[in-house]
Amino acid sequence: MKLKVLPPTLRKNNRYLTLDIKITSHISKDDLVTIVWDTCVRFQGEANTANFNLWVMKFFEMDKCDDYYCYKAILRCQRDFVSDVRSALALANKYNNSRIAITTVGLSGTIKASQKYI
This prediction's pTM: 0.89
Q: Give the per-residue pLDDT at 117.
A: 92
Within-domain flag for 49: yes
Domain interval for residue 71: 14-117
Residue 4 has pLDDT above 90, yes or no: no
Residue 77 has pLDDT above 90, yes or no: yes
Within-domain flag for 93: yes
CA angle at 99 for the pair 116 and 21, rounded to the nearest 5° = 5
Q: SS3 of 9, please?
A: coil
Residue 8 has pLDDT above 90, yes or no: no
Within-domain flag for 18: yes
Count Cβ atoms below 10 Å from residue 24 Cβ, excluding itself: 15
Within-domain flag for 55: yes
Between CA 91 and CA 85 the distance in angstroms is 10
Summarize the confidence of residues 78-95 as an average pLDDT. 94
Summarize the confidence of residues 58-79 as an average pLDDT. 92
**Domain CATH for 73:** 3.30.70.3250
Within-domain flag for 5: no
Torsion of CA 67, 85, 54, 57, to 10 degrees: -40
Within-domain flag for 3: no
The burial class, CB within 10 Å (0-12 / 13-18 / 19+), for 90 is middle
Between CA 103 and CA 70 the distance in angstroms is 12
Within-domain flag for 69: yes
Within-domain flag for 22: yes
Note the pLDDT tens digit of each residue in 25-57.
999 999 999 999 999 999 999 999 999 999 999
% the chain with pLDDT above 90 = 86
